Structure 1
Amino acid sequence: MSLFKNIFNKDKTTARKISQVNDLKTGDIIQLNDSFALPELLRGQQFEVSAINSYEYEHQTETEWVLKGNTEKQLFLSLDVDDVIYLKFAMKIQHHDVETLFDLDQFSTLFDEPGEAQLDRVSDNDNTNQWSDSSYLQRIFAQIGYFHRKDSRTEKLSPYEGEGSGEQFERYMLLNQDEDKGVEVEVWSDGDTEVFLTLYRPTTDIVDMYPGS
């Protein structure tokens, strides 16, 4: 009887627990609350962490969790760490979404020095509803970063240029007045440009986290 008791106690003590977002690994599951403050794409949904990437900047490195849900939308989670930690959800949008949201001539000004562009929303569509705001001010201009398809928490990033240094890009970021919604643009060395809408939310929006099988 005591042998079985010891075995069961051992299983219980070695079971992995996730107490904070930064504990998430590939295969883990997050459950979001059903608040109407969240877009329908996120509200009450479960997501699996399908991959973990790292964004390396001069003074910081950010972990990015790629989220897989019930749709084909490309969603990403990271942490905005300041005096308070916020969840940062990012949704990649397509060129036609950008054309709907903004005047393209005005949008192009975010690439002009000194990086003080203002964007005004023209119109939402079904994809961007609840993700956008009426206006944004530029906060980051042409910040150099390196993208790594590896988890910097467990894998060392190369400090050297060349092979293993990651993919270089330029980052542009705008925020709304309340600083809870944003637009981020990544321009890669081959000229490819990716646009994301971002939401900054309290960590309590994640109501549960489950370890992967």
Structure 2
Amino acid sequence: MTMKVEQFVMAYKVEQDRLRAMLPEGFESLRPVLRINAEIRKTDKDETVYVELNTPVAAFNKRGWLNIANWKSPATDISYERSGAAVTFQCPFLEITYTGVSVEGGCPAEKDNDGCFFIGEQTDFRTTEVIDQNKEFCDCQFEWKFADGDAHGISIGGKSVPACPTEPQQTYERQELSAQAAASINCEQILGSYVVRFER
């Protein structure tokens, strides 16, 4: 069954040492980045919303993303609302708005991406999905809501900025890999966001 997907992507810069403190053994942090993906998925039978949080890593001779957490409606209360060029996703722990700026381009991180690791009883590696449609840059505003003081940020201009790795400077106490831990890391800068529409 063909699925029509509207995929929204936003990456933001954080302190890389905080990421290192929560990565499982065998995973290396590649860049000081967290990425929020949100998808509106439509088939002839239904429509669902999917949100995930990732960070770039290297492990098992592969380079790509590590899935920190993912959520899907209706199991999780996720909704979206359109207002002109803006699409806002809302759930109890996150609000994020993507606003298209009518400029197309590519994503720098795509050239360093073999796929995505999903950790469960066994680690599952899913190879990169090939998407041949153009991406439209967006402005983005977001706020995590797990706890007071969680990360939030806003971008203006729809630009994409690369993130360079940083050398270790501080050793933090180990934390369990979780969305709550990641959301508590301050957003230093939104690096870029886009929307792409395709069939899966």
Which is higher, the Rg of structure 1 or of structure 2? 1
* Same fold by TM-score greater than 0.5: no
More helix by share: 1
Return the TM-score normalized by structure 2: 0.29
Return the TM-score normalized by structure 1: 0.27
